Amino acid sequence: MDNLKRDFTTVYVCNNCKATTPPPTHCGKAMELDDNLLFTCWKGQHAPCCGRESQIKYENCCENPKLEIQLSQMLS
Ligand SMILES: [Zn+2]
Ligand SMILES: [Zn+2]
């Protein structure tokens, strides 16, 4: 799982437990998270490419994740 490419320009922050999760990438861009906590390729669902499915389940950080997208801060 940890060899997934990540997009660090945006992160999903859980308002419940404060966990931050950079979205995985697909087809060169960040995947989008839907209401069912499923990351989907920005192109939409399609046949697996680059050896990976176009939908990836979010790994729950807590019992009731409330995710919000945020721009990640560049460290200065
Ligand atoms: Zn959480
Ligand atoms: Zn894709």
Cα of 11 from ligand 2 centre, angstroms: 19
Rounded Cα gap, residues 55 and 48, in angstroms: 9
Does pLDDT of 10 surpass 60? yes
Cα of 62 from ligand 1 centre, angstroms: 4
Specify the residue for token string 């906590």.
37
Confidence at residue 70, expressed as pLDDT on a 0 to 100 scale: 92
pLDDT tens per residue across span 28-56: 999 999 989 999 999 999 999 878 899 99
Cα of 75 from ligand 1 centre, angstroms: 23
**pTM for the structure as a whole:** 0.81
Read off the tokens for 59. 């790994």
Ligand nearest to the CA of 40: 2
Cα of 20 from ligand 2 centre, angstroms: 23
